C-alpha cells in the first residue's frame, strides 16, 4: 500500500491535499465535511485587511472624519472576534491541521492578531501577501522588504509555523523565498491568484474575468517550485493554482512540493474530488512502485541552478524557433 503521509511547514499531514482558503472554509461545519472527505489540512477563509479599511471608509460620516479611527478599531475587533471563533470551532470539530489565514499587504499590527490565532488553537498561520506596484516613483525592493517586515513581526510573536503565500508578480521569487526562510517562514505557497480583470466592451466598464483557475496556471508554480526547492532545500513548498487532478499533484510533488492547495476544483466538483485525486495519486505511486511521498518528492527539481534550461524562457526558441 502506498503511504501518503507528508510534512509541510512542520505540520504532519495524512496526505498532501490541503483545502485552500476560500468561502469553502468559512465555517466549522464545512471544514468537518472536508476532513471527512479526506483532506489532509484546511486553510481557513482569509481575513482581508482591505475589507476592514473599505468598510470603515463607507460607514464613516463626512461630518465626523475623526470617527474613522474609532470605526476601524471597532470593525477590526469585530472581525478578529469572529475569526478566532472560527478557529476555535474548527479545531473543536476537526482533527486535521487547521491553518489560519491573514490576507495583508501592510504592517498593521498583524503580529498581535497572530498571537490571538495561536491562542485560539490554530496549528499554523498563512500570510497571504500580494499586491501590484503602480507608483512611478518606486524604490526597488521596498515591496519585498515590506513582506519581510510583516513576516518578522508575526514570527516573533508566535511559536506555531508561519507560512507565506506569494503572488506571482515577482522579479526574483528565489531571492525573496530565501529571505523568507531566513526570517522565520516554515513554508511557502506558490502562487496566490490575482483578481482576474476583464472589460465589458458594451458598457465600457471593468468587470471580473475568469474566477476559477484552469490547468494552464499550473506551469508557473511547477517552474518556481522546481527551482526554489533546489535553491532553498530546507524550506517546505506547496503548489497552488490549476491543480484539478491526481496527476497534477504528482507533478507538483516531483517538482519538490510537499503539498498542494486546491480550491477551484472543489468549487466545480465538490467533496468527491478529494478522494478521486488521492486515488489517482495512489495509482500512479503503485504503478511506479513508490511506497511513500518522500521516495519521489523532488525528483524533478532543478539539478543545476546556474543552467536550469528546462525552466527558462528559452524553451520558446527550442520548440518554436524553426516555425515560419
Tens of pLDDT, residue by residue over 272-292, are: 999 999 999 999 999 999 999
Contact indicator for 39, 67 with CB cutoff of 8 Å: no
Supply the pLDDT for residue 310.
66
pLDDT, one tens digit per residue, over 60-74 is 545 545 555 555 565
Q: What percent of the chain has pLDDT over 70?
A: 81
pTM over 0.85: yes
- Average pLDDT taken over every residue of the chain: 87
Rounded to an integer, the average pLDDT of 298-302 is 93
Please determine, for residue 34, whether its predicted confidence score (pLDDT) is greater than 90.
yes
- pLDDT (mean) for 192-211: 83
- Structural domain including 38 reads 6-320
pLDDT of residue 52: 58
Is a pLDDT exceeding 90 seen at residue 316? Answer: no
Residue 115 forms part of a structural domain: yes
The answer to the question of residue 1 being in a domain is no
Q: How many domains does the chain have?
A: 1
Q: What is the pLDDT of residue 192?
A: 87
Evaluated on CA atoms 247, 251, 253, 259, the torsion sign reads negative
Helix (H), strand (E) at residue 208: strand 205-208
The mean pLDDT value for 166-192 works out to: 94
Flag whether 132 is in a domain: yes
Distance CA 141, CA 281 (A): 40
CATH number of the domain bearing residue 94 = 3.20.20.70
Torsion of CA 102, 104, 109, 112, to 10 degrees: 10
pLDDT at 54 over 80: no
Query: Does 245 map to a domain?
Result: yes
Query: How many CB atoms within 10 Å of residue 95?
Result: 9
- The pLDDT assigned to 206 comes to 86
Amino acid at each position: 500500500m502506498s503511504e501518503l503521509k507528508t510534512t509541510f511547514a512542520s505540520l504532519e499531514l495524512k496526505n498532501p491535499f490541503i483545502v485552500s482558503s476560500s468561502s469553502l472554509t468559512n465555517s466549522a461545519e464545512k471544514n468537518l465535511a472536508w476532513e471527512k472527505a479526506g483532506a489532509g489540512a484546511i486553510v481557513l477563509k482569509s481575513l482581508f485587511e482591505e475589507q476592514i479599511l473599505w468598510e470603515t471608509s463607507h460607514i464613516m460620516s463626512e461630518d465626523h472624519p475623526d470617527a474613522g479611527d474609532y470605526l476601524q478599531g471597532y470593525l477590526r475587533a469585530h472581525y478578529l472576534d469572529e475569526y478566532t471563533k472560527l478557529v476555535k470551532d474548527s479545531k473543536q470539530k476537526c482533527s486535521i491541521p487547521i491553518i489560519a489565514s491573514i490576507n495583508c499587504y501592510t504592517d498593521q499590527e498583524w503580529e498581535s492578531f497572530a498571537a490571538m490565532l495561536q491562542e485560539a488553537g490554530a496549528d499554523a498561520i498563512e500570510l497571504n501577501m500580494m499586491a501590484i506596484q503602480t507608483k512611478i516613483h518606486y524604490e526597488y525592493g521596498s515591496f519585498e522588504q515590506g513582506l519581510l517586515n510583516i513576516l518578522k513581526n508575526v514570527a516573533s510573536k508566535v511559536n506555531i509555523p508561519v507560512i507565506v503565500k506569494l503572488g506571482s508578480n515577482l522579479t526574483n521569487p528565489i531571492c525573496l523565498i530565501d529571505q523568507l526562510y531566513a526570517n522565520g517562514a516554515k513554508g511557502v505557497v506558490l502562487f496566490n491568484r490575482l483578481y482576474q480583470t476583464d472589460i465589458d466592451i458594451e458598457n465600457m466598464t471593468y468587470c471580473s474575468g475568469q474566477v476559477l483557475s484552469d490547468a494552464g496556471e499550473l506551469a508557473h508554480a511547477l517552474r518556481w517550485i522546481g527551482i526554489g526547492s533546489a535553491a532553498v532545500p530546507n524550506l517546505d513548498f506547496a503548489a497552488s493554482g490549476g491543480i484539478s487532478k491526481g496527476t497534477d499533484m504528482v507533478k507538483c510533488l516531483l517538482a519538490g512540493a510537499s503539498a498542494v492547495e486546491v480550491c477551484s476544483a472543489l468549487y466545480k466538483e465538490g467533496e468527491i474530488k478529494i478522494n478521486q485525486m488521492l486515488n489517482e495519486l495512489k495509482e500512479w505511486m503503485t504503478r511506479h512502485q513508490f511506497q511513500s511521498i518522500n521516495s519521489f518528492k523532488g525528483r524533478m527539481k532543478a539539478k543545476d541552478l546556474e543552467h536550469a534550461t528546462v525552466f527558462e524562457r528559452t524553451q520558446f526558441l527550442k520548440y518554436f524557433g524553426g516555425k515560419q
